Structures are given as structure tokens and as C-alpha cells.
């Protein structure tokens, strides 16, 4: 067990991965895009507890560079 109480996973060159994609809508604020930081933190913590690791985050741009969506990509070893 790890110090966080999670099972220790030993990876090998043959580890198979599973992926999860999370899309978060970015609203429009008075000055520009507005992201619900509290919701983002809650989602990151929930997925972390489930063993997911964030590997990439991309914003999806529309209309003059304004973001409408944040796409987060996670991975974890298949058990």
C-alpha cells in the first residue's frame, strides 16, 4: 500500500492503459472566458481518488481565440 492507502502498482513495459476524457464547458465572463475552478478541482480530486492521472489538458478555441471548452485527458493502468 502507498502512504495514501492506495494499492501500489508496479508498471512493466507491457502495462496496458485505459483512458478517460473529460470535457468542461467554459462560460463567458465580462472580460473573457470564465472557468468554474471549484468544479474543476472537485472533478480532478474525484478522478485522482479513482486512480486517474491527468496527462494532457487542451482548450478548444472558437471565435477569435476565446475558449468554449476545456478537454482533460487522463490515464491509468488497466487492472
pLDDT band, residue 25 (cuts 50/70/90):
confident
Decide if pLDDT at 65 tops 70: no
Give the closest residue to 79 by CA, choosing from 6, 23, 3.
Answer: 6
How is residue 78 written as a grid cell?
488497466
HSE, side-chain direction, 13 A CA sphere, residue 42: 6
Whether this model's pTM surpasses 0.75: no
As a whole number of angstroms, the distance between CA 23 and CA 8 comes to 29
How is residue 34 written as a grid cell?
470564465
Res 33: pLDDT: 61
Amino acid at each position: 500500500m502507498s502512504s495514501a492507502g492506495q494499492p501500489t502498482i508496479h508498471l512493466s513495459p507491457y502495462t496496458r492503459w485505459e483512458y478517460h476524457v473529460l470535457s468542461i464547458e467554459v462560460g463567458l465572463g465580462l472580460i473573457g472566458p470564465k472557468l468554474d475552478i471549484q468544479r474543476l478541482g472537485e472533478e480532478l480530486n474525484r478522478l485522482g481518488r479513482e486512480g486517474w492521472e491527468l496527462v494532457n489538458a487542451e482548450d478548444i478555441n472558437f471565435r477569435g481565440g476565446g475558449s468554449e471548452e476545456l478537454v482533460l485527458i487522463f490515464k491509468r493502468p488497466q487492472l
